[in-house]
Amino acid sequence: SDLEDLCFHINAKISNIKKCILLRNIGEDERRKAALHKIGNEVILIHELLNKMETEVKQQEKLRDLLKEIQKTAERDRNETQHLLEHIPPYLPKPDQSWKHEEQTKAVQPKSAKKPAKETKLIREVALITTEEFESVPAYLKGRLAYDQINAVVQEVNKALVAKYKILYQPLKTMSVPVRNLYNRFIEEETKDTRGLFFIVEADIKEFTQMKLDKRFHSILNILRHCQRVREVRGSGLVRYVIC
């Protein structure tokens, strides 16, 4: 088989040499020089067209890759938006009526009407983790935790935050005895390092949620610290999770 391949290769080379000799002889024929010159010009034009086509193909390939990246980004944004729509915390306030209705109400409101009640103080909550942030978390922190598990804990933390600060913003005269006891504990847990900040402790999570404060919970807290959602303030044997 190898000998046959070698013979075929040698015969092909001999055939190519014969063709080259034949073409050289044709090129020396005065009657065929004009035709050969014309063919040479056509070959040059075809070569230029091929170069232009190659450049255009490369540009189209770059455009294709760019469009793929844009498509991936759009799909990622769509998935994040869909996730946010499907996981809207139930404690968020519902939207008010349209601004047109508000303007009409202000227009017909008499000057002697009472001033509206003071707006409720805002409570800072933990922002949900995005898919990009989740992907950037080191593997040793994530372990087997899933993206949805982390945001589920975030929502429970926010639930405890809202419940705690609603009590802190509640007038003292309206508090029952158990609520007053919680209020006093909240005040005692304040320090100079947490003054003016929103924070919770593990006792708040036990009080206002059904979440277990197990190893998985603390692993998720480490991820939230890594993503700069919370930070720890320690003191008097207590860990305070301050909202960033």
User: What's the CATH fold of domain 123-243?
Assistant: Arc Repressor Mutant, subunit A (1.10.10)
- Which residues contact residue 17 at a Cβ distance below 8 angstroms, ignoring those fewer than 6 apart? none
**pLDDT digit string (tens) for 192-240?**
999 889 999 999 999 999 999 999 999 999 999 999 999 999 988 899 9
CA atoms within 13 A on the CB side of 14: 6
Domain ranges of the chain: 2-83, 123-243
Distances (CA, A) of 15 to 20, 28, 29, 239: 9, 20, 22, 89
| pLDDT (average), residues 135-147 | 90
| pLDDT (average), residues 110-115 | 49
- The residue length of the chain stands at 244
Whole-prediction pTM: 0.52
Q: Which residue has the higher pLDDT, 212 or 111?
A: 212
DSSP string spanning 97-155? S-HHHHHHHHHHS-TTSPPPPPPPPP---PPPPPHHHHHHS-HHHHTT--HHHHHHHHH
**pLDDT digit string (tens) for 144-199?**
899 899 999 999 999 999 999 999 999 988 999 999 999 999 999 999 999 889 99
